[in-house]
Amino acid sequence: MTKNWKSPKQFVCLFTQKAKILFNEEPAALTPKKVYLVLANLVKDLIYDDWLATEQRYDARQTKQVYYFSIEFLLGRLLDANLMNCGMENMAREGLKELGFDLDAIMPLEADPGLGNGGLGRLAACFIDSLAALQLPGHGCSIRYQYGLFEQHIVDGQQVELPDTWLQDGFPWETKRSDKAVHVRYGGSAYMRPDGKGGLECVHEGYSSVLAIPYDVPVPGYRNHTVNTLRLWQAEYTPDGLFGQGQGGDFRKVLQYRDTTQQISRFLYPDDSTEEGRKLRLMQEYFFVSAGLQSIVRHYRGQHRDLREFDRYVALHINDTHPALLIPELMRILMDEEGMGWEEAWRITVASTSYTNHTIMPEALERWSIPLFQSLLPRVYLIVEELNRRWLAAYRRKFPGREDKAEQVAILWGGQVRMANLAVVGSHSVNGVAELHTKILEESTLHPFYEVYPERFNNKTNGVTHRRWLLESNPPLAALISDTIGTDWIRHPKKLKELLPYRDDPSFQEKLAQVKQDRKDALVRWIQETRGVAVDPHSLFDIQIKRFHMYKRQLLNILHVYSLYLRLLDDPDAVPLPQTFLFGGKAAASYGEAKVVIKLIHTVARLIDQEPRVREKLKVLFLENYNVSLGQRLFPAADVSEQISTASKEASGTGNMKFMMNGAITLGTLDGANVEIHRLVGDENCVIFGLRAEEVQKYYREGGYSSWDLYRQDEEIRRVLDVFQKNPLFSQLYEDLLRRNDEYFVLKDFAAYREAHQEILRRYQDRPGWLRASAVNIAQSGHFSSDRTVSQYARDIWKVKPIRV
Ligand code: Z2T
């Protein structure tokens, strides 16, 4: 195997060989998609030696390793990222050119692996990138969904969901490792019996077992020879999986077992609005946790003698509660398979496990019905039951007579298993994802736990990999930065601060303005080519891209745009410069209200397009199927970053950081990580508006405000809301805002938001001032690199150190 490609000529030679091996074709005969596949396979060959060497190195050094369990990894395309990390992008570009191909035309042919919903899944992808870049021994563990997040089509202004067939042409980055398969058990019955040595042992019988097969994806660091692993598990049917059943010839049972088995790794987040869907989701959660842990313990056994030292060599991280079954599963393995007693197994489990919380929204806290849980995972349930018993007993000793509090911290309550409580009790570290979020966890959401275990709580403000979100997504900006301060910022993103002295430098500002215009032009061309829509590249680009959720308030944005439309109808000079409002994002298939907001955006867009007096000044465009690769086009082209969630609701946000890195100005509430962005750049370099988190929480405690009063007082609000009365489709939104008292304070924040937009326009017209603000944002964005975040996890929580390869 080759180390690196030495010259374009050698590349051409290797490419020709590979085309022969894979397709038995000459390069010139290859379709563009085959060119992609050949190239991807060549890049994988490049990575392979380092991949094996990395694993050997970790084993030889007996180093502690982290396993990051996440039910989502929203990877995005890998060709560009891997080429960049290997430092082989130019070589590939030159070589392909000699063969008559254009690398930039090949890259978009790669399917965008969407094994995640949004922020949580993308965070996991940024983290494994940073782990490898920092040479930290850390790996991802998840599910190889056959279908990722649905593809969003817009038909008649409405969202339609289509399956995401990302595996159709094969996924060249993975390696199937059938030899490392394990079995995962479901169902049957479990009970305790005397073990003949004066203790008890567990019997689990009548279960069915599913084959879990790992597919490994290499995760290369940035030009440092470290290659970690993302292990994706796939469920497969095994003919002998029906233990003690089915052999009797119950053919229907065998068929049903086969069907269910094959469903487990089929879809990301199967619809949970039906009982069947819920059961499948719980099967998924146990599936990858059990498979992952079994393989970790097996590997550990090959390296070390004594499982009592497990936590010295292994850190297990759970990304939200979806992998929280890791806690009872590790207990099961240590007790049932390794013969440990409860106390010792518990010490090891807590010492190994750490947990990140990603939301305070009560409806998003996972709960499972006990009957479902118990029938699917009888042995694990016994452990959870015992854990709940011991935990509550200890808690009641500490707070005698406080049943109100005991109820809040119980793991089992009201017929349900409360996963967040399980995760907190079973972890030595519990962290939030931004300062404000962690404070709310400590003071309200998880307060009773904070009282007992204050030392477990800590904050780790999110970050994003600046390699993908700046270096790879915005090459002209990256080049300008490197020309100005050198290339050290790529390995040490804090050094972006060295741009600060240039913020008022006219020549730097001029170049920064050109880069932004260049990225806007590129986006405009792409929109014209792919959507057939014309956008004014000299208008202000105001962008809101994120999942659709009522708390994120895309509704506030579009209502404000509609108010601009109304103003322009009266007075064509009501706005001083042309503006383009871009939206993108998916709504959960079952989230009716969010889907109505998507429809409303399309309706307003059409109204504007049809009005000659307005359309010169205003454009609204919804870009369908927002995903990682579309994000990579949009962040670099943004002037304004819309971060307008109801204060206290957005745990962190990470799009806010990607915009900032690309020089956009934040227009936001003091929510999530916006608070920290604001603190770093100051009032002059972002525009903050609206209710503060404490005010919102006070309203919630005291029963809200009267949205009717506002409706009566503010004429513009009144005129805007009349849009709803013209169309019965939107009556639900009207109801929410007025009759159901505006849960997310859209109307309450409307006037402040209107003011904030006027402030944006004032600042945008001061060119040097705006460019200075843009430069300051880029310069301060190094703090929001996931390299910073991951170093903090490594130092404070996982206790792992870099290993040079
Ligand atoms: C998700 O993307 C987030 C939170 C969730 O809570 C679930 C999902 Cl799928 C269970 C997001 C937060 O909403 C966002 O504020 C945060 O930046 C992101 O996780 C990463 O922490």
Query: Tokens representing 646?
Result: 């109801």
pLDDT, one tens digit per residue, over 311-322 is 999 999 999 999
pLDDT interval class at 253 (50, 70, 90): confident
Going from N- to C-terminal start, the domains of the chain cover 1-61+79-111, 65-76+116-363+429-462, 512-784
pLDDT tens digit sequence for 667-681: 999 999 999 999 999
Give the active site residue among 654, 666, 669, 789. Answer: 654
Q: Which amino acid is at 634?
A: L
- Segment 736-749 shows an average pLDDT of 94
Q: What is the mean pLDDT of residues 355-368?
A: 92
Cα distance between residue 645 and residue 689, in whole Å: 11
Q: Indicate the range of 242-256, 263-277, 378-392, 516-530 predicted with least confidence.
A: 242-256
For residue 121, the ligand 1 atom closest to its alpha carbon is 2
Which of the residues 658, 748, 754, 783 is marked catalytic?
658
Percent of the chain with pLDDT over 70: 98
Residue 87 reports pLDDT greater than 90: yes
The preferred substitution site among 120, 127, 322, 438 for testing ligand 1, maximizing ligand atoms within 8 Å of CB, is 120
Q: Which of 44, 279, 332, 552 is catalytic?
A: 552
pLDDT in tens, 400-418: 999 999 999 999 999 999 9
Tell me whether 0.90 is exceeded by the ipTM: yes
Q: Burial level of 618, CB count in 10 A (0-12/13-18/19+)?
A: buried
CA 90, 91, 94, 98: dihedral to nearest 10 degrees?
-160
Q: Please compute the mean of the pLDDT values over residues 448-465 and round it to a whole number.
A: 98
Q: How far is the CA of 601 from the centre of ligand 1 (A)?
A: 24
Q: What's the confidence (pLDDT) of residue 663?
A: 98
The topology under which CATH files domain 65-76+116-363+429-462 is: Rossmann fold (3.40.50)
Amino acid at position 763, single letter: R
pLDDT at 726: 76
Average pLDDT in the chain: 96
Q: What residue ranges line ligand 1, CB within 6 angstroms?
A: 117-120, 123, 320, 358-359, 364, 433, 462, 650-654, 672
- Give the model's pLDDT for residue 1: 47
Question: Which range is least confidently modeled, 221-230, 359-368, 375-384, 489-498?
Answer: 359-368
| pLDDT given for residue 276 in this prediction | 64
Q: Same CATH fold, 512-784 and 65-76+116-363+429-462?
A: yes
Could you confirm whether 252 is annotated as catalytic?
no
N-to-C CA span, the chain: 18
Q: What's the average model confidence in pLDDT over 192-199?
A: 91
At residue 114, the pLDDT reads 93
Q: Does 547 participate in catalysis according to the annotation?
A: yes
Could you tell me the pTM of the whole model? 0.98
Q: For position 725, what pLDDT does the model report? A: 79
pLDDT for residue 4 = 87
Whole-number Å distance, alpha carbon 267 to ligand 1 midpoint, is 19
pLDDT, average across residues 711-735: 90
Nearest alpha-carbon partner for 624 in 646, 640, 605, 611: 605
Q: Which CATH class is domain 512-784?
A: alpha beta
Distances (CA, A) of 381 to 70, 278, 287: 22, 17, 15
CB atoms within 10 A of CB 507: 9
Alpha carbon nearest to ligand 1 atom 3, residue: 120
**Pairing mode, strands 208-220 and 200-205:** unpaired
The pick from 358, 367, 462, 657 for probing ligand 1's pocket by mutation, whose C-beta has the most ligand atoms within 8 angstroms, reads 358
- The alpha carbon of residue 183 and the mean position of all alpha carbons in its chain are separated, in whole angstroms, by 28
pLDDT, tens digit, for every residue of 32-51?
Answer: 999 999 999 999 999 999 99
